């Protein structure tokens, strides 16, 4: 376990460094936007998380430098104030990151077994993984050059998977079990929910399918948008997904700083919850509930054709994800065809429920019964009731952290994140 944690920490650090490589001083600060952080602040913040929880709170060490809390504590420093801080130079920020990581590594290598330390380190690694996903969408939002983390796999860019799978109803244990290893507070704990039979798409919605909605005037027709959706649409001024544009040769999509032809079969991405719901109304479909999504991803049929009480960690089983199972870790630089990767299929036949695109569900983010916050109390509970649940991970999500029970959450207006969706029959 210790070797895995050290290797994962170093890998997370390498990804951080890759995602800031080549950016100049102005780009590392960037404009003051509600959806991004100044990258130079965010680099320091990811290192601070290791320092604060492992070195200081658990091991009782002094701060690496005196003013560190006033620079990098995301709880006490308001988002819009982060551009005004007396941030250290990039070289000094990276030196701080190296010092923190070196201290953590020495303790893991030299100290005796320490389950609490290892739990906090695993938490900090996944925290950095979540921030490197944010670094990636920041580069997309700000039209920065394509990061050197992967290449578009042309062999995986074509292929569709139409149709639904029928899933039986029954009682299902939603959430993580106490034997599942590391989980976040919002996954705790597995609890019985009743699920009615339903039919869910075998694949996520593709660019071509979403383009049909756009071409049919879906952004102009108010019948497909509820009051909140119409308000969002009017405020956004959009008549198509935010990174699309029409050209004489058809739709184009911007990937980082380059416009390319829209890959028809790839999963649609960078659409918000309101856009997903409008598409569903146009198509005569609906978003799955969070429980339905997890049943389709993790559930199995029992001997009588109902729902088994056993669950899979990943849609395909319990084996760690590989390139044959999921589009993860940034290696494809975007979404691939929704029909690719047949080895990813769940027990019920749903494809790519892990990786490619985060999938919006119908549900508002909330606690499971008996919820208590973990040590990082602001991870989940401040977002209860005001965000929507997404499941499954995206092409940039790190494979070491994702699983069927993972829940993430964004406001329904967020179209800058790597979010798409699949639909259910009404």
Q: For 94, which DSSP code?
A: H
Q: For 254, which DSSP code?
A: E
Tokens (6 digits) for 312:
């899979």
Arithmetic mean of pLDDT over the chain: 97
Tell me if 74 sits within 8 A of 41, measured CB to CB: no
CA distances (Å), origin 296, targets 15, 168, 188, 353, 422: 32, 10, 19, 8, 11
Euclidean distance between CA atoms 221 and 216, whole angstroms: 9
Question: How many Å is the Cα radius of gyration of the chain?
Answer: 21
In the chain, which segments carry CATH 1.20.120.450?
2-141
Confidence of residue 18 (pLDDT cuts 50, 70, 90): very high
Euclidean distance between CA atoms 233 and 231, whole angstroms: 5
Q: What CATH number belongs to 2-141?
A: 1.20.120.450
pLDDT mean over 38-46: 98
Euclidean distance between CA atoms 265 and 337, whole angstroms: 5
Q: Is pTM, for the whole model, over 0.95?
A: yes
167 CB-side CA count, 13 A: 32
- What does the pLDDT look like over 75-95, one tens digit per residue? 999 999 999 999 999 999 999
DSSP class per residue in 13-63: HHHHHHHHTT--HHHHH----TT---HHHHHHHHHHHHIIIIIIIIT-PPP
Residues in contact with 164: Cβ distance below 8 Å, sequence separation at least 6, in sequence order = 199, 200, 201, 202, 424, 425
Q: For 187, which DSSP code?
A: G
Tokens (6 digits) for 322:
């590989």
Is 105's pLDDT higher than 80? yes
pLDDT at 1: 65
Determine how β-strand 388-391 pairs with β-strand 408-410.
antiparallel
Largest CA-CA distance found in the chain, in angstroms, rounded: 65
Tell me if 338 sits within 8 A of 160, measured CB to CB: yes
Tokens (6 digits) for 148:
């050197």
Residues in contact with 365: Cβ distance below 8 Å, sequence separation at least 6, in sequence order = 186, 380, 383, 384, 385, 386, 387, 388, 389, 407, 409
- What does the pLDDT look like over 150-198, one tens digit per residue? 999 999 999 999 999 999 999 999 999 999 999 999 999 999 999 999 9
Nearest to 409 by CA among 207, 214, 211, 184: 184
Tell me if 352 sits within 8 A of 206, measured CB to CB: no
CA 418 to chain centre: 7
The third-level CATH classification (topology) of the domain covering 150-426 is 3.90.1580
pLDDT mean over 11-30: 98
pLDDT at 2: 86
- What does the pLDDT look like over 231-280, one tens digit per residue? 999 999 999 999 999 999 999 999 999 999 999 999 999 999 999 999 99
- What b-and-e string marks burial along 208-231, b requiring 16 or more CB atoms within 10 Å of the CB? bbbbebbeeebbeeeebbeeebee
Euclidean distance between CA atoms 266 and 208, whole angstroms: 8
Nearest to 364 by CA among 201, 238, 228, 168: 228
Q: For 224, which DSSP code?
A: G
- What does the pLDDT look like over 56-70, one tens digit per residue? 999 999 999 999 999
Is 6's pLDDT higher than 70? yes
Euclidean distance between CA atoms 171 and 111, whole angstroms: 45
Tell me if 362 sits within 8 A of 289, measured CB to CB: yes
Tokens (6 digits) for 346:
């769940």
pLDDT at 404: 98
In the chain, which segments carry CATH 3.90.1580.10?
150-426
């Amino acid at each position: 376990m210790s070797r895995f944690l050290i290797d994962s920490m170093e890998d997370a650090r390498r990804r951080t460094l890759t995602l800031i490589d080549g950016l100049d001083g102005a780009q590392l600060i960037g404009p003051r936007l509600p959806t991004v952080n100044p990258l130079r602040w965010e680099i320091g913040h990811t290192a601070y998380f290791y320092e604060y929880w492992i070195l200081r709170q658990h091991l009782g060490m002094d701060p690496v430098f005196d003013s560190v809390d006033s620079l990098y504590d995301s709880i006490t420093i308001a988002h819009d104030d982060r551009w005004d801080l007396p941030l250290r130079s990039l070289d000094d920020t990276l030196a701080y990151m190296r010092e923190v990581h070196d201290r953590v590594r020495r303790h893991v290598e030299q100290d005796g077994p320490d389950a609490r330390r290892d739990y906090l380190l695993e938490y900090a690694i996944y925290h950095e993984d979540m921030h490197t996903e944010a670094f990636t969408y920041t580069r997309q939002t700000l039209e920065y050059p394509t990061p050197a983390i992967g290449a578009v796999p042309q062999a995986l860019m074509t292929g569709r998977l139409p149709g639904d799978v029928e899933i039986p109803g029954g009682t299902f244990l939603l959430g993580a079990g106490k034997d599942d290893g590391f989980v976040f507070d919002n996954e705790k704990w597995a609890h019985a929910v009743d699920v009615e039979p339903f039919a869910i798409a075998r694949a996520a919605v593709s660019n071509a399918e979403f383009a049909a909605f756009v071409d049919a005037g879906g952004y102009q027709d108010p019948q497909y948008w509820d009051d909140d959706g119409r308000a969002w649409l009017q405020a956004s001024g959009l008549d198509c997904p935010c990174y699309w544009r029409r050209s004489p040769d058809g739709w184009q999509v911007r990937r980082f700083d380059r416009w390319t032809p829209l890959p028809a079969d790839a999963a649609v991405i960078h659409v918000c919850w309101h856009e997903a719901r409008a598409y569903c109304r146009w198509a005569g479909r609906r978003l799955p509930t969070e429980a339905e999504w997890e049943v389709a991803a993790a559930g199995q049929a029992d001997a009588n054709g109902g729902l088994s009480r056993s669950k899979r960690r990943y849609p395909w089983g319990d084996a760690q994800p590989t390139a044959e199972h999921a589009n993860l870790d940034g290696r494809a630089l975007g979404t691939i065809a929704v029909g690719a990767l047949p080895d990813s299929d769940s027990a019920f036949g749903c494809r790519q429920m892990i990786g490619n695109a985060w999938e919006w569900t119908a549900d508002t983010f909330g606690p499971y019964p008996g919820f208590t916050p973990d040590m990082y109390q602001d991870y989940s509970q401040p977002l209860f009731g005001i965000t929507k649940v997404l499941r499954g991970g995206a092409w940039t999500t790190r494979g070491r952290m994702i699983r069927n029970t993972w829940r993430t959450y964004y406001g329904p207006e967020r179209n800058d994140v790597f979010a798409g969706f699949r639909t259910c029959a009404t």
